[in-house]
A = this chain, B = another copy of it.
Amino acid sequence: MGSKDVYFFGGTMTEGNAQMKELLGGKGANLAEMSLLGIPVPPGFTITTEVCNKFYTEGKDAVVKMLTEQVKEAMGKVEKVVDGPKFGDKENPLLVSVRSGARASMPGMMDTILNLGLNDQAVEAIIARSGNARFAWDSYRRFIQMYSGVVMGMKPVEKDDEDVFEEIIDELKHEKGIKLDSEFVTEDLQELVKRFKAVIKDKLGKDFPTDPWEQLWNAVMAVFESWMNDRAIFYRKLNNIPAEWGTAVNVQAMVFGNMNDRSGSGVAFTRDASTGEDLFNGEFLVNAQGEDVVAGTRTPQQISLEGSRRNAVLKGFSEEERKASGLSLEEMMPEIFKELTAIQKKLELHYKDMQDLEFTIQDGKLWLLQTRSGKRTGAAAVKIAIDMLNEGQIDEKEAILRVDPQKVDELLHPIFEPEALTKATVIAKGLPASPGAATGQIVFFADDAEHIMKAHVGRKLILVRIETSAEDLKGMDAAEGILTARGGMTSHAAVVARGMGKCCVSGVSELRINYKMRTLTIGEKVYREGDWISLNGTTGEVYDGQVDTKPAEMSEDFETLMKLTAKFARLKVRANADTPHDATVARQFGAVGIGLCRTEHMFFEGKKIIAMREMILSETTEEREKALAKLLPLQQEDFEGIFMSMQGLPVTVRLLDPPLHEFLPQDITGIEEMTEAMGISESRIKQKMSALHETNPMLGHRGCRLANTYPEIAVMQTRAILQAALNLKKKGIEVFPEIMVPLTSSIAEMKMQEGIIRKTAQKVFEEMGDSIKFEVGTMIEIPRAALTADQMAESAEFFSIGTNDLTQMTFGFSRDDIGKFLPIYMEKGILKEDPFQVIDREGVGQLIKMAATKGRETRPNMKVGICGEHGGEPSSIEFCHIVGLNYVSCSPYRVPIARLAAAQAAIRYK
């Protein structure tokens, strides 16, 4: 054959490097890279991805034949590096691991075999050399279990299939009267090996293979086979990974941290993963394997003396107590510590990022098993990025790319005190509807929340509702957080809470709320009004009792990062804001305009809701105009406030969108209030409510359908917008109004609205003797509007893509109702992501792209943006950048996230 199919790594003979991921897979390439850096890595070799393809075209025998010489040679090099143990040797056997490693990470999809090379002789040799019989037998029985599962097909496939090995283990426990695996003594493990072998012989009619080479070849082939198992195929399909990529196979010498007291295992971070401080830190355990460090059965020791001392201060330990609780690695094995310190520095400088390391010390020798970019908090991410930029390790683009925009959210909302959180109990889990942490006393009614807060400033309340409606706004504002039993990520509660920057957990289906009794029942436990609970809106967790929180802290580094984004982002970031307060917050966070000002939220206060209801109850155009005349000055005032907050920046005002019945009272009390306030009969209200009832309100009489049937509504709103703008203009304030028509599905609808708006504008300008520039555009939120965007652009001067509704209609999913199947769809992998959170690029994305492309065919400089929840979600923002939109608009508290995501997209996709 002559081709090179096996690449050695380790010692000074490494053949691959980090650039060779296509051939060696991610794992193989990185092991080679570490080795090239001179870092001690257990030696091994990688069989290339191309061999995997040969395996499928030419079969097992051809592949074994082709590889035999190369593998033998590579194994020879491994033996040379480990200098002593030899593969298959009876006195000093070399054990290896066999692992898959594809070009893209496919966690858990394919198989791994550890401790390969063990057999009855080898186990004795290991005992002889390590002096640790239990360790050796436990390794052996695990090897048999793993190998016969993966290679010999004895692994249960479906969850109901029997697992013969687990049955044997349970049987022996029963016989011995013990409960835990750790209670097995050496003889028990020996017994297990015996029974395992017997059951294999019984089931398969053949013996467990004792020849290490036979074991090795079979294991390698099994890894190749696992590339085509159902899980892997499904995973690749979901992640668009071509089958032709194949997987590499890594064969690597085993090292053992649990061999003796000159051994150990640990994990370390090159900087503080919580604060970002430039401090090498980590934990380790003597005479232990990697799993033991994370398992928590033994308390790990600190790596550095400084870390150990800081820890002692936190715990209030004296120096004596500190030493008694466990010395640091620096104290116990100073040479190893020095070597590790040098390695971590080297790795960080090489990878130019904070690293998360795994190491094992075997009999006084340090081995690195893994290095990867370390996970970190949002605060740490920002600090590390800016520090490394200042250190000259990375450039500005890289600094921006280093911060996960999702993590930035943490910096903008309160979080739980880490200490308090360790003692808290999760009682339920729902959707992480609006981030942040909140603790407070339960209240069930929005009115109550409002009244309590007026009477007792400083009280902390959690508003608990089956679902919220527009009437609950003030109560939501008064509460620390909102918890609902129904509703998804884009339910009323979720959307409003995010807009307020307030914590919310929604759709917690296990909540049973009894409004009459004022109780909340979760499982067996009953919570009453006034009881404390806590919410984590970032994770969706609900906690029992009071869990202390601490406020958001925005660092100087964060400001630096935000300034950097402006240098690179091409997408503009606007905010969705309906009040002067929201507008001001958004502006502080760096929004360059309002992309969505919803006028309907304005109608829910005092006089406005009364006039609105009069309008709805009108039977004639005249009555309707009379009621609208009352609304006009109130709306105008609202607009003046918002225009003032946003002076100098554009404000997109969306005309009335929701169905009229949303403005009618939702219950008997509301109806009674209405009859009193308006002096009309209950039956008339009920009659109107019934007339306005819709089977599918989402697809009903709303948006421009309202204003096309009752044009006087659009007339009033246009008046209010332009009169407000002209009033401010008189005072020398710059205003850029953009009037947006919602829910258009055809050019005829749009043209009719445009006509009404322009005609009204002309009248207003004549009346006021002055004029102002304004634009008329439309939401693209109905599939048909996207499909016919070339026509829509004949009338619309800008498009704002309403991805919430567009997603609803493109998928046929009601966001109010998806709670019944979306969680199951996610669990079964039918949906990888909630399409209401992350833009579905394959489906909805086609329509977004079509809207922009077709719109610009007609109007080449068409401004196209998105509003809706996706405007603040990084992957969606990236997509908007890729398809060439002009801006995204999101809730004020997500503006920084959007700015960062926009900059990242611009760097990644030019």
Q: Which of B752, B805, B829, B842 sits near A788, CB closer than 8 Å?
A: B842
Taking CB atoms and an 8 Å cut-off, the chain A residues in 820-860 that contact chain B are 820-821, 824-825, 828-831, 840, 842-844, 846-847
Interface string of A692-726 (1 = CB under 8 A from B): 00111111110001001100000000000000000
Q: Are A787 and B812 in contact (CB under 8 A)?
A: no
Complex interface: chain B residues within 8 A of A791 (CB): 842
Tell which of A397-405, A561-569, A740-748 binds the partner: A740-748
A432 vs B694: C-alpha distance when bound (angstroms) = 22
Interface string of A779-793 (1 = CB under 8 A from B): 001111001100100
Identify the interface centre among A814, A820, A846: most chain B CB within 10 Å of its CB: A820
Q: Does A808 contact B (CB under 8 A)?
A: yes
Q: Does A217 contact B (CB under 8 A)?
A: no
Q: Does A602 contact B (CB under 8 A)?
A: no
Q: Which of B782, B783, B817, B846 sits near A700, CB closer than 8 Å?
A: B817
Q: Are A746 and B830 in contact (CB under 8 A)?
A: yes
Q: Are B787 and A825 in contact (CB under 8 A)?
A: no
Q: Does A749 contact B (CB under 8 A)?
A: yes
Complex interface: chain B residues within 8 A of A816 (CB): 694-696
Complex interface: chain B residues within 8 A of A699 (CB): 696, 698-699, 808-809, 812-814, 817
Q: Are B745 and A788 in contact (CB under 8 A)?
A: no
Q: Does A393 contact B (CB under 8 A)?
A: no
Q: Are B748 and A788 in contact (CB under 8 A)?
A: no
A836 vs B752: C-alpha distance when bound (angstroms) = 22
Q: Does A92 contact B (CB under 8 A)?
A: no
- Taking the full assembly, how many copies of this chain does it contain? 2
Interface string of A800-817 (1 = CB under 8 A from B): 000001001111111011
Q: Are B752 and A830 in contact (CB under 8 A)?
A: yes
Taking CB atoms and an 8 Å cut-off, the chain A residues in 425-463 that contact chain B are none
Q: Are B810 and A784 in contact (CB under 8 A)?
A: yes
A808 vs B847: C-alpha distance when bound (angstroms) = 17
A805 in contact with B812 given A700-B820, A821-B709 (CB within 8 Å): yes
Q: Are B809 and A708 in contact (CB under 8 A)?
A: no
Complex interface: chain B residues within 8 A of A746 (CB): 830-831, 843
Complex interface: chain B residues within 8 A of A820 (CB): 694, 700-701, 709
Q: Which residue of B lies closest to A695 (CB)?
A: B816
Identify the interface centre among A695, A701, A743, A847: most chain B CB within 10 Å of its CB: A695
Q: Are B812 and A784 in contact (CB under 8 A)?
A: yes
Identify the interface centre among A697, A699, A701: most chain B CB within 10 Å of its CB: A699
Q: Are A830 and B749 in contact (CB under 8 A)?
A: yes
Q: Which residue of B lies closest to A699 (CB)?
A: B814
Complex interface: chain B residues within 8 A of A705 (CB): 821, 825
Closest beta carbon of chain B to A890's beta carbon, Å: 23
A694 in contact with B814 given A709-B821, A783-B809, A831-B748 (CB within 8 Å): yes
Closest beta carbon of chain B to A785's beta carbon, Å: 9
Q: Which residue of B lies closest to A819 (CB)?
A: B701
Q: Which of B745, B752, B805, B846 sits near A843, CB closer than 8 Å?
A: B745
Q: Which residue of B lies closest to A708 (CB)?
A: B830
Complex interface: chain B residues within 8 A of A840 (CB): 784
Q: Are A698 and B701 in contact (CB under 8 A)?
A: no
Taking CB atoms and an 8 Å cut-off, the chain A residues in 737-761 that contact chain B are 743, 745-746, 748-749, 752
A821 vs B708: C-alpha distance when bound (angstroms) = 9
Q: Are A847 and B708 in contact (CB under 8 A)?
A: no
Identify the interface centre among A705, A708, A783: most chain B CB within 10 Å of its CB: A783
Counting contact residues on chain A (CB < 8 A from B), the size range is 35 or more
A348 vs B238: C-alpha distance when bound (angstroms) = 67
Complex interface: chain B residues within 8 A of A697 (CB): 695-696, 814, 817
Q: Are B811 and A784 in contact (CB under 8 A)?
A: yes
Q: Which of B709, B748, B813, B829 sits near A829, CB closer than 8 Å?
A: B748
Complex interface: chain B residues within 8 A of A805 (CB): 812
Complex interface: chain B residues within 8 A of A698 (CB): 695-696, 699, 812, 814
Interface string of A675-695 (1 = CB under 8 A from B): 000000000000000000011
Q: Which residue of B lies closest to A807 (CB)?
A: B784
Complex interface: chain B residues within 8 A of A831 (CB): 746, 748
Q: Are A787 and B817 in contact (CB under 8 A)?
A: no
Closest beta carbon of chain B to A763's beta carbon, Å: 15
Interface string of A752-774 (1 = CB under 8 A from B): 10000000000000000000000
A69 vs B735: C-alpha distance when bound (angstroms) = 60
A828 in contact with B696 given A812-B745, A846-B787 (CB within 8 Å): no
Closest beta carbon of chain B to A848's beta carbon, Å: 11
A191 vs B743: C-alpha distance when bound (angstroms) = 56
Q: Which of B694, B708, B787, B842 sits near A810, CB closer than 8 Å?
A: B787
Q: Are B811 and A700 in contact (CB under 8 A)?
A: no
A696 in contact with B817 given A784-B810, A787-B843 (CB within 8 Å): yes
Q: Which residue of B lies closest to A808 (CB)?
A: B699
A745 vs B843: C-alpha distance when bound (angstroms) = 9
Closest beta carbon of chain B to A738's beta carbon, Å: 22
Interface string of A408-426 (1 = CB under 8 A from B): 0000000000000000000
Closest beta carbon of chain B to A403's beta carbon, Å: 32
Complex interface: chain B residues within 8 A of A830 (CB): 708, 746, 748-749, 752
Q: Are B708 and A824 in contact (CB under 8 A)?
A: yes
Q: Are B809 and A812 in contact (CB under 8 A)?
A: yes
Taking CB atoms and an 8 Å cut-off, the chain A residues in 313-330 that contact chain B are none
A718 vs B279: C-alpha distance when bound (angstroms) = 63
A843 vs B788: C-alpha distance when bound (angstroms) = 6
Q: Which residue of B lies closest to A745 (CB)?
A: B811
Identify the interface centre among A696, A788, A825: most chain B CB within 10 Å of its CB: A696
Closest beta carbon of chain B to A312's beta carbon, Å: 53
Complex interface: chain B residues within 8 A of A821 (CB): 701, 705, 708-709
A855 vs B842: C-alpha distance when bound (angstroms) = 15
Complex interface: chain B residues within 8 A of A842 (CB): 787-788, 791
Complex interface: chain B residues within 8 A of A844 (CB): 784
Identify the interface centre among A705, A788, A812, A820: most chain B CB within 10 Å of its CB: A812
A696 in contact with B810 given A708-B821, A787-B847, A843-B746 (CB within 8 Å): no
A52 vs B748: C-alpha distance when bound (angstroms) = 27
With contacts A699-B808, A699-B817, A781-B812 known, what are 8 further pairs, Cβ within 8 A?
Answer: A694-B814, A695-B816, A699-B812, A705-B821, A708-B828, A709-B820, A745-B813, A788-B842
Pull 27 A–B residue pairs with CB atoms less than 8 Å apart, ordered by A.
Answer: A694-B816, A694-B817, A694-B820, A695-B814, A695-B817, A698-B699, A700-B820, A705-B825, A708-B828, A709-B821, A743-B812, A745-B811, A745-B813, A745-B843, A746-B831, A746-B843, A748-B830, A749-B825, A749-B830, A782-B812, A783-B812, A784-B811, A784-B843, A787-B810, A787-B843, A788-B842, A809-B812
State the A residues within 8 Å of B (CB): 238, 694-701, 705, 708-709, 743, 745-746, 748-749, 752, 781-784, 787-788, 791, 805, 808-814, 816-817, 820-821, 824-825, 828-831, 840, 842-844, 846-847
> What 3 A-B pairs have minimum CB-CB distances, sorted nearest first?
A699-B814, A696-B814, A784-B843
